[in-house]
Amino acid sequence: MKLKVKDIDISSGGPLIAIMNHKDAAMLDLHVMDRIKIKKGRKIETVVVDIAESDKVVPKGKIGVFEEVLNSLKLGNNDDVEIAIARKPLSIDYIKKKLDGQKLSKKEIDQIVWDIVHNKLSAVELTYFVAACYTNVMSTEETILLTKAMVKHGDVLRLDKYPVIDKHSIGGIPGNRTTMGVVPVIAAAGYYMPKTSSRSITSPAGTADTMEVLANVAFPIKKMKEIVLKTKGCIVWGGALNLAPADDKIIAVERPLEIDAESQLLASIMAKKHSVSSTHILIDVPIGKDAKVKNKVEALKLKKEFEKIGKRLKKHIKVLITDGTQPIGNGIGPALEARDVLWLLKRDPRRPIDLERKCLMMCANIFSIVGVKNGYKRALEILNSGKAYQKMVEIIKAQDGKEIAAEDIKIGKYSYDVLSAKNGRVSDIDNIFISRIARIAGAPHDKGAGIYLYRHVGDKVKRGEKLFTIYSESQHELEYARDVAKQSKVFVVR
């Protein structure tokens, strides 16, 4: 069947999709979610079919094409293409197999990942794969195969250096901007640390969002390598790179379901670390009622799995179980967190001491993995000497940024102070509400929006003293955030 292309100017966000008129679809006995092959010259692409029930959207004789298909086949509006029926991807059968609780082979896992990377699976089919791995947890062997497949079907940063350091936090804790404290210390000590970080998914800021206040974070892998070889470190956005791309597509499906299949979490983290050629890896597992990992039993189980997989991949792995019961640092939101980091590196009296202690503890553990004794003392010396700050400036400049004083970082011009209603001691801070209020205020899309904390758990507070300040770049968003703060029990003072 020959049809003319109609550019419908819609992106699916990944899957290859085309829309056929119901009359054309009936002629080939096609139904929603069936596959067709679209051929233009020598180029062929297999896509998922959607069906238009009226001629208004896609007239008979035309095929509505999503942006991903247009780009893949280099199509233009009204181009002539040939249509043929195609079979479903092989990985559909393998996903069914996992749904039935069976183990998958190397060939089967490799095919699933290939189909994910090349957008051969619809969002529904990919969701079933995520659900299958969530309900029928992958074995250690399957997880290792999934890790290797993720790395295989993406780019790899090859540094040809040893050791190469990396770190990762399981996440879920507001603030906790340890990467931006750890990388300059480790790089100043002479070790290579190519750090890829994520943007926020449900938090007020990801490390990439915060680093972006100070420098560019989106680079191709060739430029990333140049930066690392020049400065020994970097803090870049992983989403701009083609490192383990299947992981990003899986995360996009997990987000609305709010699930984190253990095997995919393990494979996701280890694939990203493997793809930057890291040899020594520190994993931070915060635990707390509002954290991703709720208790020590879950954390120890995860620790054991990380260590098993690390050993099989010939990586030196150390897993830290840390306190995730409250925010780390004072600033929550990109600009406020960036200010905290600069204060920390500049040894300013306003620096958040809890964030500093955690950074130093993590540096000490990284030093221990590579055989450096008295790591805490070594890290503190690097901080106090100013070498860590100078290294951060070097990295910022290499990433197309410029040195800026913490005080010159622009914070949201609208603010609202939340005061303590009584004398007492802070006994609890709700991480979920802290994140929600900061996001309602505009973080992370408005860099200057967020929350600044004046108290942490265990601190004394008097009636009328500030607990936290909400910042926003919009008066309306500040009002929404203020209303939520008034209605919520963010701080518990006893």
User: pLDDT at position 252, please?
Assistant: 77
Domain formed by 165-240+268-398, architecture: 3-Layer(aba) Sandwich (3.40)
Mean pLDDT score of the chain? 94
- Tell me what pLDDT residue 200 has: 85
Whether 260 is catalytic = yes
Mean pLDDT of 187-211: 93
Q: What is the pLDDT of residue 241?
A: 87
Mean pLDDT lowest for which of 84-93, 401-410, 411-420? 84-93
pLDDT tens, 326-355?
Answer: 999 999 999 999 999 999 999 999 999 999
User: Residue 258's pLDDT band (boundaries 50, 70, 90)?
Assistant: low
In sequence order, the 6+-apart residues with CB closer than 8 A to the CB of 139 are 103
Structure tokens of 127? Answer: 């969701």
- Structure tokens that stand for 289 in this block: 């009622």
pLDDT at 393: 98
Distance, CA of 143 to chain centre: 19
Tokens representing residue 348 in the block: 């300013």
**Complete DSSP assignment for 347-407:** T-TTS-HHHHHHHHHHHHHHHHHTT-SSHHHHHHHHHHHTHHHHHHHHHHHHTT-----GG
For 416-471, write each residue's pLDDT tens digit.
999 999 999 999 999 999 999 999 999 999 999 999 999 999 999 999 999 999 99
Phi, psi of 14 (to 5 degrees): 165, -70
The CB density around residue 401, as the number of other CB atoms within 10 Å, is: 17
Determine the pLDDT at residue 35.
Answer: 93
Tell me what the mean pLDDT of segment 35-40 comes to.
94
Rounded average pLDDT over 161-178: 93
Would the pLDDT of 67 be above 70?
yes
Report pLDDT for 426.
97
Per-residue pLDDT band for 201 (boundaries 50, 70, 90) equals confident
User: CATH homologous superfamily of domain 410-493?
Assistant: Pyrimidine nucleoside phosphorylase-like, C-terminal domain (3.90.1170.30)
Contact 103, 133 (CB under 8 A): no
pLDDT at 247: 83
**Binning pLDDT at 50, 70 and 90, where does residue 119 land?**
confident
> 91-136 has which fold?
1.20.970
Fold of 2-86: Barwin-like endoglucanases (2.40.40)
Q: How far apart are CA 122 and CA 133, in angstroms?
A: 17
pLDDT at 337: 98
| In the chain, % of residues over pLDDT 90 | 86
Catalytic annotation, pick one of 260, 340, 430, 446: 260
Select from 263, 52, 253, 32 the least CA-distant residue to 139: 263
Return the pLDDT at 263. 85
pTM of the model: 0.87
Q: According to CATH, where is 1.20.970.10 located in the chain?
A: 91-136
Which one-letter DSSP state was computed for residue 66? -
The residues of the chain that CATH labels 3.90.1170.30 are 410-493
CB neighbour class for 458 (10 Å; exposed up to 12, middle 13-18, buried from 19): exposed
Q: What is the dihedral of CA 372, 314, 259, 132, to 10 degrees?
A: -170
* pLDDT (tens digit per residue) in 123-138: 889 999 999 999 998 9
Instruction: Report the alpha-carbon distance of residue 146 to residue 140 in Å, rounded.
Output: 10
Per-residue confidence (pLDDT) for residue 60, from 0 to 100: 95
Give mean pLDDT, residues 468-493. Answer: 96
Count each helix (H run) and each strand (E run) in the chain, helices first.
Answer: 18, 18
Where in the chain do CATH 2.40.40.20 domains reside? 2-86
pLDDT, tens only, 40-62: 999 999 999 999 998 988 999 99
DSSP state letters, 221-281: HHHHHHHHHHHSEEEEEGGGS-SSHHHHHHHHHHHHHT---HHHHHHHHHHHHHHTT-SEE
